[in-house]
Amino acid sequence: MLRHIAIRPAAGTWVIRAGGAVLGESSNALELSEGDMPGVIYFPRDDIAMAFLEPTEYRTLNQWIGEAAYFNIVSKSRTYENAVWSYETPKDEASELAGYLAFHVQDGVAVEQV
């Protein structure tokens, strides 16, 4: 059986910016590949300024990974709604993602390799 997802260490150092502020930088990020979709960078929670994140009630379900909990990013200029997600208790196949956060790249939110 082929795995639908692949998780591996993300090479180099990655930074997340929102509303002009750096929310975090990590050389311990993970990259998730899912099917033929572009890879997604996941940051360790310890490398993110959690004070900028506000939990929301929004949830989604990924059949391979599990339930994702969401956060708003609250910056001085605006709030990015449900722009961050985390698999608090991922399925066994994705257990490496526990304690990691991913960011919805959009106008004002950027994930970049530095």
**Over its length of 114 residues, how does the chain's per-residue pLDDT go in tens digits?**
446 899 999 999 999 999 888 999 999 999 999 888 889 999 999 999 999 999 999 999 999 999 999 999 998 889 999 999 999 999 999 999 999 999 999 999 999 999
Task: Assess contact for 7 and 95: CB atoms under 8 A.
Answer: no
For 19-108, strand residue ranges (E) read 21-26, 30-34, 40-44, 53-62, 66-74, 79-86, 100-103
Query: Do the bridges between strand 79-86 and strand 66-74 make them parallel or antiparallel, or are there none, so unpaired?
Result: antiparallel
Q: Output the pTM of the full model.
A: 0.94
Residues 6+ apart with CB under 8 A from 57: none
Report d(CA 86, CA 21) in Å as an integer: 21
